[in-house]
Chain A
């Protein structure tokens, strides 16, 4: 496969900023090439056009696409996301993409989609793509009830959403792994995205079924095209690049013991 097929730096225009909680936002970008050209689990590098600080693009999962626009979901964690949380409609961006391998095609007929907080973003697009033709059961974990507006927003897109909270103040008490079955069936898969500790716990929970688990990983990256090698993770085949060899890996590929 040509990894760079279709990858370019496109113009993107912020259309709509939506505040979900004090720290969680979504932005719709007008960018036909990405809206029509990306598949579930792929991502984009977004940067302010003509600004040198922040310098690099930041990776965001394509959470959904409608018409000529796509949306990203994010939590404010640093300088870039703080600036994005104050973006004005019409502001110009560079959007590099579509990047990464994406989740690919399901191999069975049931998907458990498992998300830790903002890890739900790429899974929204998975749900958008596959829920019409196979059984998608979505589990979302959050810390506590302060995340209620966020879970409500997700529920609007995924009516059957199952919610779990660490302190039990929202949905079921427990992590998003809590409601998963004891074993994964032959025709079932788990696709997950969230903090690395959660993904590791998932791998540990199903030591015999890791080939049935696909995880979307996150890493600091500079280029998104496999050049800088800043985003490598440890796998059973040595270091691999999250940006082009991933971001989606089979759980059995990842050397979980070496991941921090």
Chain B
């Protein structure tokens, strides 16, 4: 029998009422943004990245719009894990939307300590998303996710410290994404997020200088969707654990395409900057699509383009 949870999916150890999850780096920690009633249609929210110590993030210009895209170089600005556990966790836990704590991979010892502290609070934390893919920091970040060997080291460490559901966010800058995906799966990840932003840059022609202090920055937005979709397809061919498609999703049609390519859920980032109720509109679109075709649930959509 059809019910109102037509969109329900089980994804990497987390039960989601809808496959639409807010990507990391997008959502503020302020209380009102975590209330289930205020954001219908969202299956979950990934927190902004958490690191061991407070990070100020990058100086200079941090965002730059491109045609149908957005370059960012924020640099993991956050107040550190202690502040997160004391101040943010109680707030976001109350809202009722499942959340996934994004942990940015710095170095072995620091990230290991972050995960140890989260493990102490495991009954309050539905899942962790290990971010081995931030393109905007010099220490760690994307450097971990570029190669299968280093990705495996990071996930192996994480798996020892964090016993709950573990999602791992990969980088499109990986040398061989399928190889990285398989290595991460072998180390015990429960799901893969494919993927983080694409390395790009901008030059200010008035100053004849790179726009960003770090020269390179991460590209997101509708312009990258076909690239992300292709990468999701590749990863879904390589692993058996759930894949969460992420990159340029801007409509329910894009969600459907990601799901049909094999993704179990979809992360949305830049589009939330355009429309705070994207979760609601995308979920409605998905539901109507399913109902119009007499489909029983997400299982009838996921991977359909591969059959």
User: Which of A's residues lie within 8 Å of B, judged by CB?
Assistant: 2-5, 7-9, 47, 52-57, 94, 96, 220-223, 225-232, 238-239, 244
In the bound complex, what is the Cα–Cα distance between A7 and B39 (angstroms)?
Answer: 12
In the bound complex, what is the Cα–Cα distance between A8 and B39 (angstroms)?
Answer: 11
Contacts of A96 in B (CB 8 A): 276
Cβ distance B58 to chain A, nearest Cβ, rounded Å: 10
Pairwise interchain contact B275-A94, C-beta atoms closer than 8 A: yes
Binary interface encoding of chain B residues 262-273 relative to chain A, with 1 for a CB under 8 A from any of its CBs, else 0: 000000001011
Pairwise interchain contact A5-B32, C-beta atoms closer than 8 A: yes
Cβ distance A13 to chain B, nearest Cβ, rounded Å: 17
Pick from B74, B222, B277: contact of A55, CB under 8 Å? B222
In the bound complex, what is the Cα–Cα distance between A223 and B30 (angstroms)?
Answer: 14
Pairwise interchain contact A222-B72, C-beta atoms closer than 8 A: yes
Pairwise interchain contact A244-B28, C-beta atoms closer than 8 A: yes
Cβ distance A28 to chain B, nearest Cβ, rounded Å: 23
Within 8 A of A (CB), among B39-91: 48, 56-57, 61-65, 67-70, 72, 74, 77
Pairwise interchain contact B250-A4, C-beta atoms closer than 8 A: no
Chain B binding surface SS class: loop
Pairwise interchain contact B65-A54, C-beta atoms closer than 8 A: yes
Pairwise interchain contact B56-A238, C-beta atoms closer than 8 A: yes
**B33 on the A face (CB < 8 A):** yes
Pairwise interchain contact A229-B30, C-beta atoms closer than 8 A: no
Contacts of B62 in A (CB 8 A): 220, 229-232
Pairwise interchain contact A222-B70, C-beta atoms closer than 8 A: yes
Some 7 contacts from A to B, beta carbons below 8 A apart, are A7-B276, A9-B276, A94-B274, A226-B30, A229-B48, A230-B62, A239-B57
In the bound complex, what is the Cα–Cα distance between A238 and B55 (angstroms)?
Answer: 11
**B221 on the A face (CB < 8 A):** yes
Within 8 A of A (CB), among B169-190: none
Within 8 A of A (CB), among B214-255: 221-222, 250
Cβ distance A3 to chain B, nearest Cβ, rounded Å: 5
Contacts of A4 in B (CB 8 A): 28, 30, 32-33
**B108 on the A face (CB < 8 A):** no
Pairwise interchain contact B276-A225, C-beta atoms closer than 8 A: yes
Contacts of A229 in B (CB 8 A): 48, 57, 62, 74, 77
Pairwise interchain contact A228-B273, C-beta atoms closer than 8 A: yes
In the bound complex, what is the Cα–Cα distance between A231 and B275 (angstroms)?
Answer: 19
**B25 on the A face (CB < 8 A):** yes
Pairwise interchain contact B74-A230, C-beta atoms closer than 8 A: yes
Cβ distance A236 to chain B, nearest Cβ, rounded Å: 14
In the bound complex, what is the Cα–Cα distance between A34 and B152 (angstroms)?
Answer: 51
Pairwise interchain contact A223-B57, C-beta atoms closer than 8 A: no
Instruction: State whether A228 and B32 are in contact (beta carbons under 8 Å apart), knowing that A52-B250, A53-B68, A223-B272 are contacts in the complex.
Output: no
